Amino acid sequence: MTHDRERTGPAWGTFLELADPAGGPLHTRLARALRDAVADGRLAAGSTLPASRVLAADLRCSRWVVTEAYAQLVAEGYFEARSGSATRVRAHAGTAAPRHPGAGPERWTPRFDLLPGIPDLRAFPRKRWADMVRAATTELTWDELGYPDAAGLPRLRRQLASYLARGRGARVEPDHLVVCAGTLDGVLRLCRTLRAAGHTRVAIEDPGWTQLRLTVAAAGLTPVPVAVDGQGLRVDLLRRATAVRAVIVAPAHQFPTGVVLAPARRAELTDWAREVDGLIMEDDYDAEFRYDRHPVGALQGMAPDHVALLGSLSKTLSPAVRLGWIAAPGRWTEALVARDTGGAPPPVIDQDAFSRFVTSGSYDRHLRASRLRYKRRRDRLLRELAAHLPGAAVGGAAAGFHLLLPLRDCPADAVVKEAAGHNVRLASLDDYRTVPEEPGPDASASTLVVGYGNLTDQAVPEAVRRLAAAVERVRGQSA
């Protein structure tokens, strides 16, 4: 009799051809095969992956190969892993997911998507990018079309070092830069490196980006939530955390609160890193998009020996361009590209295309145009909110393309559900918490997170009108 698992499951033994050494390390080959299986539908959204021990037995490889492949795909957003549960294929695996997605995947496409973290996809510079890709495929040398440097294309690393020094105040040598597949890939590499060096725990901001917590766990480390207040990460609480010598922080524009790490906290945080000989993983989130004040310099410039600066193109260009970087302390760089730590580097053609995009001045022009576009859209959103929800104290709007909307007199989760019924998708601040907030006069349980990056300017008034109507309905039900 044929068991259901044998009848309906994929032929796991065909997912990895161990006799093909040209395909790279085993865990890289398995990750690529699983990624392809998601893309072509052999692994359906929501399906459960075999336990690492079971799949390793089917493939006749070590369990480490499977766990590393799973961790890579969790970091890339294809899989999701929760403590105590099986690894599953994400509902939107293989699509251009937002850099900072909502609390959970949704299976509907709303007319007005106000989830944070999605840039204006209509503004992607298609023609200029196509020109750069065409030039790369035409002009790359034969040698450069071979297997890439594990740290990234050397000329791109030189350009990134110059750009980060000029635009972010970073202090980094090209040899200390590693090109990766985005922020999560960079965090995964760093966490693997930390684990190999004896670290067991990594502090994360709370509230914060859910995928960071999952990526830390996927690397075999324990994420330790540390509260964020109006001045950023609570360094005093970080100091009290047991056995923690590494932290992930977004000092330029904390997600989702929008708080900038205060100058005193920046000094406290770098002092802590020196005292414990630790590592600060600086997520340079939204640093390029500031509207009402001067840009905040990278924390890395204050303590280059203890800060790894992470950046990507997911917000400035598109999540579809899987390219990012790590500006790491010199002592960590070699480990970040080791075969048992690093993932596969992004395609050389994409790296060279971006290198040309920067050199030509196209990247700077695109950023300037994007700042103007998002500021104009933000200003319109603020005007509409003031008109339809008068008295609401909007926060976190000085940078990026989302803001906080406190609603003290009605529960945010109820508004989220009500708005969904009217084709508006958004999130509450609690969706991004690891530790539930304690009730009190300063509690933010009634705070919405409103994204506006991928709205058209013309859609803003109707989106706000529907949101305001949802708020009024919930208020009426609570009265």
Name the average pLDDT for the chain: 86
126-360, what's its fold?
Answer: Aspartate Aminotransferase; domain 2 (3.40.640)
Question: How far apart (Å, rounded) are the C-alpha atoms in residues 131 and 127?
Answer: 6
Question: 81: pLDDT confidence band, cut at 50, 70 and 90?
Answer: confident
User: What element of type H or E holds 247?
Assistant: strand 246-249
Question: How far apart (Å, rounded) are the C-alpha atoms in residues 278 and 307?
Answer: 9
pLDDT for residue 100: 38
Which residues partner with 282 through β-bridges?
249, 309
Q: What is the mean pLDDT of residues 155-177?
A: 94
88, 47 Cβ separation under 8 angstroms = yes
pLDDT for residue 73: 80
Q: Where are the domains of the chain?
A: 22-89, 112-119+364-478, 126-360
Read off φ and ψ for residue 112, nearest 5 degrees. Answer: -120, 105
DSSP letter for 240, please.
Answer: H
Question: How far apart (Å, rounded) are the C-alpha atoms in residues 292 and 374?
Answer: 12
Confirm or reject CATH 1.10.10.10 for domain 22-89, answering yes or no. Answer: yes
User: What element of type H or E holds 324?
Assistant: strand 324-327
Q: Do domains 112-119+364-478 and 126-360 have the same CATH topology?
A: no
At what angle are helices 460-478 and 362-388 packed, to 10 degrees?
40
User: What element of type H or E holds 308?
Assistant: strand 307-312
DSSP 164-230: HHHHH-----GGGEEEESSHHHHHHHHHHHHHHTT--EEEEEES--HHHHHHHHHTT-EEEEEEEET
Q: What is the mean pLDDT of residues 194-203?
A: 95
Q: Higher confidence at residue 444 or residue 201?
A: 201
pLDDT for residue 202: 97
CATH classification of 112-119+364-478, choosing from 3.40.50.300, 3.90.1150.10, 3.10.20.810, 3.40.630.10?
3.90.1150.10
Question: How far apart (Å, rounded) are the C-alpha atoms in residues 397 and 405?
Answer: 10
Question: 405: pLDDT confidence band, cut at 50, 70 and 90?
Answer: very high
